[in-house]
Amino acid sequence: MVLPNFLIFLVFIIIPFFYGTIISFADWKGIGKINFIGLGNYFELFSDSGFWDSLLRTTKFALCSLPFIIILPLFFAVMLTKNLKGKYIFRTIFYWPSMISYIVVGIAFRFIFGDSTGVINYLLQLFGLPKFSVMTNTTGAFWILILANLWFSTGSTMVIFMSGITNISPTYYEAAEVDGATSRQQFFKITLPLLKPTLFLVLILSLIGLFKAYGMVMQLTSGGPGDATKFVVQNIYDTAFKRFRLGYASAQSLVTTLILAILTILQFKANKGGEVNDK
């Protein structure tokens, strides 16, 4: 039963990883002879301001997005696990954007917020109001990306939180109600502590997903204006398929993977692997 998934993982993850590791020590354009140059790509990488700037922008994007990605879905999950009228309809509405492709999300938000073709600017001009130039503004484009990613990811994250909440034994809440605890006290004293493993999972998955952001960014901003939203994956893609330096791009990918692995390990240590303290 495990074999089909294992074969997929082997062919599309493990083998490409080791192949990428090998060519990261080479100067290769994707065709022709592979010229091994040892640690040359890595030495070049440490002085490559373009790569580190893109990594810094990606880190900023992740840090600014994470609070929204965690707080908003958690709020919806708490509300929609209560006995509310129409909660199944709202669950469907909130989850629906997660079923859409990243690329479609980027096109949709560009259609809404675009400076020349956006619906908002069309309506503003229709009423004689000045244009809303957000996509040509570095700060505006950055926050539109955060908004688009939040709209896309809220539903799937909400489902994970709902799963965690429903696994909490109702006896905790019954005992709290007997003791006269308010809903707010129940959330901070029962729900939040017992959701620690789920929070840890969401934090790790969200961080990795934000660092891998590419399709939506390309459709929405194409890395612009300038390089304001050019994140690390786009920089790696440009290096590999526009500059035809696959060896150097592989070195960039491995360094990015190593940084993500270190961040994950630090989070694992800080959160003790998401274990719940029963004391």
Tokens in use for 204? 């790790």
pLDDT digits (tens, 9 = 90+) for 192-243: 999 998 999 999 999 999 999 999 999 999 898 889 999 999 999 999 999 9
Q: Is the pTM of this model over 0.85?
A: yes
The answer to whether residue 218 sits within a structural domain is yes
pLDDT value of residue 273: 59
Q: What is the mean pLDDT of the chain?
A: 90
- The runs of H, that is alpha helices, within 24-137 are 40-45, 49-80, 87-95, 102-113, 119-126
Predicted confidence (pLDDT) at residue 264 exceeds the cutoff of 90? no
Confidence of residue 275 (pLDDT cuts 50, 70, 90): low
Q: Quote the CA–CA distance of 255 and 45 in Å, as a whole number.
A: 9
In a domain? residue 30: no
In a domain, 31, yes or no: no
Q: Is residue 61 part of a domain?
A: yes
The answer as to whether 82 is a domain residue is yes
Per-residue model confidence (pLDDT) at position 270: 78
User: For the segment 79-127, what is each residue's pLDDT rounded down to a tens digit?
Assistant: 998 888 888 899 999 999 999 998 999 999 999 998 877 898 888 888 8
Alpha carbons 212 and 229: distance in angstroms, whole number: 13
- Look up the CATH number of the domain holding residue 260: 1.10.3720.10
% of the chain exceeding 90 in pLDDT: 67
- Is residue 61 within 8 A of residue 210, CB to CB? The reply is yes
Q: Report if residue 5 sits inside a domain.
A: no
* Residue of 277, 151, 131, 163 lying closest to 216 (CA atoms): 151
SS3 (DSSP) at 26 = strand
User: Is 95 within the bounds of a domain?
Assistant: yes
Q: Is residue 97 part of a domain?
A: yes
Q: How many domains does the chain have?
A: 1
157 neighbors 70 (Cβ within 8 angstroms): yes
Q: Which of 104, 135, 120 is nearest to 219 (CA)?
A: 104
Instruction: Note whether 229 and 217 are within 8 A (CB).
Output: yes
Which residues form the domain of 240?
Answer: 53-274
